[in-house]
């Protein structure tokens, strides 16, 4: 990979997670040194939403989205769901999106659990529409169904998209954005998606600390690994992909 630096945005990371407790500030500064000018930290529940807000207040280049991830809803009470929705509403002016939220059938094989995910996701989507904020979707083995829930929204990001090309094209036809994580560096499926998604609808992310393109923990600096591979796949200069994805992120998230 070239050492040339580009201004890029990591549109989805979890810098508040305990994986970064030992060296969080070093990781953030390492990302900045690599050319990551902006990081969007995604909350997944009440606790991580609070931490995401704290990070956004501490660093002027970190922005927060607040959400309610489908994984873990089995242990989440109705009262906690409503408290999370209230939390998002109360901090709407401090955030750049609602999410991550969605449907994850990979970890939820039973229909009762899936019904619960659908119920909560619809509530979150309704709130994103009410607040006129982008909906950041987490979907796994349920991309088509998640699309059906959000298809009438105007601002949607499919975070770490892993579905079919067909569903992706439906989402693109609605003007939605497709975010590809650094897993593209080691996944043939995601490389196919990278070839298909148009540059004006593409976002890049790490989903740190997960999906590392290298051995060990992922971090925002590694978003450049994904950028360079996507550029090679598309036969484009990496600076063109950097410029386009940064422009797209600023547009959808209002940065």
Residues at the binding site for a divalent metal cation are 12, 14, 100, 138, 159, 207
Give the pair of three-digit tokens for residue 206.
């790490």
Q: Which runs of consecutive H residues, i.e. helices, occur in the chain?
A: 24-34, 46-58, 78-90, 111-131, 143-150, 165-173, 188-196, 223-234, 238-253
> Which residues are bridge partners to 139 per DSSP?
103
Residues 67, 124: Cα–Cα separation, whole Å? 8
The whole-angstrom separation of Cα 178 and Cα 168 is 8
Between strands 135-140 and 177-181, the pairing is unpaired
**Binding residue numbers:** 12, 14, 100, 138, 159, 207
């Amino acid at each position: 990979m070239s050492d040339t630096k580009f201004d890029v945005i990591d549109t989805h990371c979890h810098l508040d997670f305990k994986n970064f407790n030992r060296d969080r500030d070093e990781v953030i500064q390492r990302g900045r040194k690599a050319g990551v000018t902006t990081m969007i930290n995604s909350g997944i529940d009440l606790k991580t939403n609070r931490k995401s807000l704290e990070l956004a207040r501490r660093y002027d280049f970190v922005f927060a989205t607040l959400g309610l991830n489908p994984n873990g809803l089995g242990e989440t009470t109705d009262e906690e769901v409503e408290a999370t929705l209230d939390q998002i509403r109360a901090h709407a002016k401090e955030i750049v999106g609602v999410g991550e939220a969605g449907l994850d059938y990979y970890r939820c094989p039973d229909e009762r659990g899936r019904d619960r995910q659908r119920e909560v996701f619809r509530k979150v989507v309704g709130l994103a529409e009410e607040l006129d904020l982008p909906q950041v979707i987490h979907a796994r083995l349920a991309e088509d169904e998640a699309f059906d829930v959000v298809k009438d929204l105007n601002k949607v990001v499919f975070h770490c998209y892993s579905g079919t090309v067909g569903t992706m094209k439906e989402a693109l036809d609605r003007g939605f954005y497709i975010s590809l994580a650094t897993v593209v560096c080691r996944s043939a499926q995601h490389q196919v998606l990278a070839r298909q998604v148009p540059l004006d609808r593409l976002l890049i992310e790490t989903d740190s600390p997960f999906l590392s393109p290298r051995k060990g923990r992922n971090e925002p600096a590694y978003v450049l690994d994904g950028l360079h591979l996507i550029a090679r796949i598309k036969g484009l200069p990496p600076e063109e992909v950097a410029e386009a994805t940064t422009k797209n992120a600023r547009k959808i998230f209002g940065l």
